[in-house]
Each structure stands twice: as C-alpha cells, then as structure tokens.
Amino acid sequence: MGRCIALFPLVLALEASARVASAQSPLAKTCRASEDRKAVVARVVDARTGTPVPGLLAQLVAPRPDTIVRGDTTEVFPVLRRRPRLDASGQFCFENLRAGEYRFETSAIRSDASEQAIIVRLNRADSLKSIILRYRPFGRSPEDKAAATRMLKALDDNRRRWLSSRPAHYLVQVKHECASCVFAGPPHTYEIVNDVAVATIDNAGVRHALGEKARSMTVDSVFDALQASILDERFTVRAIDYDHRFGWPRQYETDRRAYPELSGGYEKVTVERFDVIR
C-alpha cells in the first residue's frame, strides 16, 4: 500500500497511512488497530539529530468525553486525554480511538520546553496512523505560531504605511522598562534626518551631535526590534499598539516563555515622543 508523507519545514513532520503505519516501526506491530478501534503510533525525535528526546511526556487530547474501562470499572472523563509510556525509540501507542480530530502534544520540565503539537484527523477508513513530531527547544504550539503569523502581517502592513509617509526629519524618544533597565537612566531623544540619527536632545533642549558609531534609536530600529522579538520563539509578544497616522509601534511588551520571573525576560517598549520637524 502506498504511503503519503507531508512535511512541515522546521516544525514537525507528519507521516500518515490510511490503514497501515510504517512496517519498520516496532511499536506499530504491537499497537492494536481496526476500523472500529483505531490507533495512533507517535514518535518524538530531536529536530536536529533525529534521535529520541529524553525526559518528555506526551499526550493525545480531544475535546470530547473519554471512556476508560479498567477491569470491571468504567470511568468517563469530560475530555479524552491519553498519556501512554514512551518506549526506548521515543514512540507512543494510542489505542481504542474512534474517528475524529485529536491533538498530539508534548510536555517537559525544562527551561527550554517546547509547546509543539500535531493535529491528527482519523477518518472512518483509517485504522492505524503513524506521526512524527520533530522536537526543538521553545517550539511554538500551532495556536502560538498562527498568532505570530498574524502579528508579523500586521507589522508588515504598518511598516509599509510608515515607509510611505515617513518624515525626512523627526525627533523620537523610546523608553525601555525591564528588570535590567533599573539603572539605565532616562531615555534619550534622538534627532533623525533621512533615517539616520544625527544628534540627541537633552532635557534642557540642548542638541548634541552624534558620532558615526554612536548607539542610536530610530523608528525603523523599533520596527526591527519588534520583528525580532516576534520571530524569536523564546519570547511571547503582546500589547502591540501602532500609531494610527504613521503606523509606527507606539508600544509593545515581550516576556520569556519559560520562567520569566527568574530570567528577567519582561520588557516594555514605549515610544514616548514623536515630533515631526519636516
């Protein structure tokens, strides 16, 4: 029987067969399945090396009741949730399933834990499906990945608006709030001419020329920093607010996904001043 393979770059690979999983899989040989009592063989491997990932737990979840029979006792749970043991090759076997949609997800007690998941759809004609999740640290869930895609689209739309109306000469002041910014002092106001910071303006309104290698802040660099945070899977980004006229980011917040209270990963970026000169 033929096999159909669908690959999702850098995130996961899903290998599925309508009736028979890979004949080379040892667990597939012992995972019992039929058209009435379907089964899923799942394997978790390192995205870089292809080897099993130690210390992982995995589960199959569906938003519908789950009935489990233990001897003479039948238990009904509001949500289907199966957590089988992982074998030496990094595989799991989920048996006694019916047609429907399931979510295969992993969890781990580690600072770089992934939230990746695969949506599994068992059709009436299916009996045994085989899936592979390519695990990587800080991997995003399908929902988080979709949210990041939406944020990137909004950023691109607003950046185009900014580029089409960007003034040739403006002042900008950006405030950073974070655990490591306590002793950073007040933010500078930068004078931008043709997309280049040429001077700072102090609290007394005195202008100080900048050298070519001096650190500076422009609206374009705020866009770049926000985009980098959205793309970085170690962080979550929220509370993004864009200027209605020019499209520049007025404010956004970032936080480390794992143990933010220990890593000092929280940061709030606010454009406190934006004055058009010409």
Give pLDDT tens digits for 52-74: 887 788 888 887 666 666 667 65
At 172-202, the pLDDT tens digits run 999 988 876 666 677 889 999 999 999 999 8
Closest CA to 178 of 169, 187, 170: 187
Statement: residue 9 has pLDDT above 50? no
Which is more confident, 252 or 112? 252
- Kindly indicate the confidence band of residue 210, based on its pLDDT and cuts at 50, 70 and 90: confident
Residues 176, 271, single domain; the answer is yes
Domain boundary among 135, 163, 189: 135
In this prediction, residue 28 carries a pLDDT of 52
Question: Which residues lie closer than 8 Å to 102 by C-beta, 6 or more apart?
Answer: 40, 60, 61, 62, 80, 94, 119, 120, 121, 122
Residues 61, 87, single domain; the answer is yes
Q: What is the CATH number of the domain that holds 70?
A: 2.60.40.10
Residues 101, 155, single domain; the answer is no
| Contact call for residues 200 and 188 (beta carbons, < 8 A) | yes
Phi, psi of 227 (to 5 degrees): -60, -45
In this prediction, residue 239 carries a pLDDT of 94
Domain boundary among 135, 162, 180: 135
In this prediction, residue 47 carries a pLDDT of 92
Residue 173 is which amino acid? Q
Task: Say how many domains are in the chain.
Answer: 2
The one-character DSSP state at 226 is H
Domain that holds residue 191: 142-276
pLDDT, mean of residues 194-222: 87
Residues 25, 93, single domain; the answer is yes
pLDDT, mean of residues 1-27: 37
At 146-179, the pLDDT tens digits run 999 999 999 999 999 999 999 999 999 999 888 7
Residues 152, 114, single domain; the answer is no
Residues 83, 186, single domain; the answer is no
Statement: residue 223 has pLDDT above 90? yes
Closest CA to 113 of 252, 215, 226, 258: 258
**Per-residue DSSP letters for 208-265?**
EEPPTTS----HHHHHHHHHHHHH-TTEEEEEEEE-TTT--EEEEEEEESS-HHHHT-
Statement: residue 208 has pLDDT above 60? yes
Question: Which residues lie closer than 8 Å to 247 by C-beta, 6 or more apart?
Answer: 157, 158, 159, 160, 161, 162, 165
At 237-250, the pLDDT tens digits run 999 999 999 999 99
Classified as helix, coil or strand, 222 is helix
Residues 57, 151, single domain; the answer is no
pLDDT, mean of residues 252-268: 74
Residues 108, 184, single domain; the answer is no
CA–CA distance, 40 with 131 (Å, rounded to integer):
8
- Kindly indicate the confidence band of residue 89, based on its pLDDT and cuts at 50, 70 and 90: confident
Determine which helix (DSSP H) or strand (DSSP E) holds 128, and give its type and residue range: strand 128-135
CA–CA distance, 5 with 242 (Å, rounded to integer):
41
> What pTM, to 2 d.p., does this model score?
0.77
Statement: residue 2 has pLDDT above 50? no
Residues 109, 127, single domain; the answer is yes
Residues 197, 99, single domain; the answer is no
Query: Using only C-alpha atoms, what is the Rg of the chain?
Result: 26
Domain boundary among 77, 100, 135: 135
In this prediction, residue 13 carries a pLDDT of 36
The one-character DSSP state at 52 is B
- Kindly indicate the confidence band of residue 78, based on its pLDDT and cuts at 50, 70 and 90: low
Residues 128, 253, single domain; the answer is no
Residues 112, 147, single domain; the answer is no
